[in-house]
Amino acid sequence: METTKQLICLANSRKNGGRCVAGIDLESNAWIRPISHRAGHEISELERQYVGGVEPRVLDVISIKFIRRHKYQFQRENWLIEPSARWVKLGRIDWDDLRLLEQRPSRLWINSGDDTVKGVNDRVSVAQSNELEDSLKIIRVDSATIIVDRPYETGRDLDVRVEFWHSESPYILKVTDCVYADRFRAKGVGRHKIGESFLTVSLGEEWKDYYYKLVAAIIERPKV
C-alpha cells in the first residue's frame, strides 16, 4: 500500500551514477532510505528533484511517496519510492533541531581491526553480517580532519576521507557527501581541519566480501 512520509534529509550522497538519500521520519523518528527498483537502488536525478529541477539539500524536510518498505539484508531502513511522484520540500531545520537527532552508539557497527590501506575501522566482513541490525547513524564529533589524497588509479578523482574519533575509537572513512567531497578536492592533496560537526554514517551494500562504512553527510556547526 502506498504511503507518504515526511523526513528530515540527512544525506544526499553519490552512488552508482545516482544518489543515496536518507533521512529521519518526522512521525516515527526512524531512519528511512528511499530506494529505486534498480539493482544498485540509487535514486536518479529526475526521481529526487523538486519541481523546477531543484536538488534536495541536507536539512530539508521532504515529503516523499513510497510504494512499500523494502528491507535489504541489514539495510532495514529501505523504502521503495513511487518513481512518478515528485518530492516536495516542506521546509528546513537548523542546528538546534539537529542536536535532538543525535545518536550515541558505543561503536559504529563492528570494529574488527580489518582496515583498508587508507582507512581505519572502515569495513565489516560479510562473515559478520549476522551481527548487523541497521545501516545508518548520525553522530556528533567535536572536530575532524578531511584527508584529500591521490587515488590508486590515474584518471580518477582525488580520494576524500574524514578522520575522527567516536566513543574512544578512531575512524578514517570515505566521504560520499557530494558537497564536501567536491569542496575539499578543490583544495588539493592535504589535510584540512573542521570543527564541531554531525556526520551521517552509512553502511553500504556488499562489495568484494565487505560492507564499507561511508560518511554520507558532513554538517558543520554554523559559525557565529
pLDDT level of residue 153 (50, 70, 90 thresholds): confident
Average pLDDT over residues 109-132: 94
- CA dist 211 and 39 (Å) reads 17
pLDDT in tens, 23-43: 999 999 999 999 999 888 999
The DSSP output letter for 185 is H
Average pLDDT over residues 61-79: 93
Question: From the centroid of its chain, how far is CA 154?
Answer: 26
pLDDT level of residue 209 (50, 70, 90 thresholds): very high
Residue 16, pLDDT > 90, answer: no
**Residue 52: other Cβ atoms inside 10 A:** 5
* CATH code given to domain 3-93: 2.40.50
pLDDT level of residue 210 (50, 70, 90 thresholds): very high
Q: What pLDDT is stored for residue 73 in this prediction?
A: 84
Q: What residues does each domain of the chain span?
A: 3-93, 102-220
Cell representation of residue 183 = 569542496
Q: pTM (2 decimals)?
A: 0.95
Residue matched to cell numbers 588539493:
188
- CA dist 71 and 69 (Å) reads 6
Q: Phi and psi of 17, rounded to 5°?
A: 80, -5
Average pLDDT over residues 58-76: 93
The DSSP output letter for 183 is H
Nearest CA to 70 out of 41, 104, 97 is that of 41
State the maximum Cα–Cα separation within the chain, in Å, rounded to a whole number.
Answer: 50
Poorest-confidence range of 17-21, 92-96, 179-183, 197-201? Answer: 17-21
Residue 103, pLDDT > 90, answer: yes
Which residues touch 193 (CB under 8 Å, ≥6 apart)? 143, 144, 145, 146
Q: What integer best gives the mean pLDDT of the chain?
A: 94
What is the four-CA torsion angle of 203, 206, 207, 213, rounded to 10 degrees?
10
Percentage of the residues of the chain whose pLDDT score is greater than 90: 85
pLDDT level of residue 114 (50, 70, 90 thresholds): confident
Q: What pLDDT is stored for residue 71 in this prediction?
A: 84
- CA dist 160 and 181 (Å) reads 6
pLDDT in tens, 118-129: 999 999 999 999
Query: Please, what is the Cα angle at 209 between 208 and 212, to 5 degrees?
Result: 80
Nearest CA to 73 out of 124, 26, 30, 118 is that of 124
**Residue 108: other Cβ atoms inside 10 A:** 20
Beta bridge partners of 173: 162
